[in-house]
Structure 1
């Protein structure tokens, strides 16, 4: 199996700068980078605690409104070869939410699939730094 670790948890936010300020100033996380998504108006910010590799991904501009109680959007898992891992999951009967792998501007690649209760999960192959 080529899934290596929990990569990040994606959280939808209304204001990226306000959320970055909260997670860095209040919770002590470090901003790793901000990435303009391929989808116009969508921005991503990646944060982690010092010395940790699991990240928090803040998602601004997603085309669905953020619920008043907030919304965890997905859990992502790091893979070495996204094509191989996606094919392995398809062979096991896993349902994919998106049919194709998306490549971001930093060459990171991802695809979403469904967990047994409909939870949104992601295979993530890192690209260059955000």
Structure 2
């Protein structure tokens, strides 16, 4: 199967933020709508997450427990929805593409349940393959 057959559209664009509430308020002010909020526990503390619908696509706002480096901007990755993460992963491996981690992540409680896997583009950009559960 060709990889393009797995793609289902833009999942979201992730943006590091310094203050979650301030950022949500800003995006609401400019016409966005809060879709979901969540958090993930990390060894450094809770990573705050929010999905904001902005004109038909989602922004994932991320407030890390430790300040994220923003010297090159604050967009850490973009996500593409796939129909079947395991099949897409097998097809990418067959093309010689390496994943940033050997195993996919399954997060059954984040944003209603998702699984994802990241690859790195030629300039260091992170590409998230995302399947909602």
Are 1:32 and 1:47, in contact at CA under 8 Å, matched by a contact in 2?
Answer: yes
In the alignment, structure 1 residue 91 sits paired with structure 2 residue 94 = yes
* Number of residue-to-residue matches in the alignment: 124
Contact 1:12 1:60 in 2 (8 A): yes
RMSD of aligned alpha carbons: 1.8
Partner of 1:42 in structure 2?
Answer: 47
- Worse overlay, 92-101 or 76-85: 92-101
Unmatched segments (≥5 aa) in structure 2: none
Q: Distance in 2 between matches of 1:117 and 1:70?
A: 14
Where does residue 33 of structure 1 map in the other structure? 36
Residues 1:109 and 2:115 aligned together:
yes
Superposed displacement of residue 64, structure 1: 5.5
> How far is the alpha carbon of 1:17 from its aligned partner?
0.8
Question: TM-score, length-normalised on structure 1?
Answer: 0.85
Contact 1:12 1:62 in 2 (8 A): no
| Unaligned stretches of 5+ residues in structure 1 | none
* Larger strand percent: 2
Query: Residues of 1 paired with 2:127 and 2:34: CA distance?
Result: 23
Question: Would you say 1:122 and 2:128 are equivalent positions?
Answer: yes
Is the contact between residue 18 and residue 67 of structure 2 (CA under 8 Å) also seen in structure 1?
Answer: no
Q: Is 1:6 aligned with 2:6?
A: no
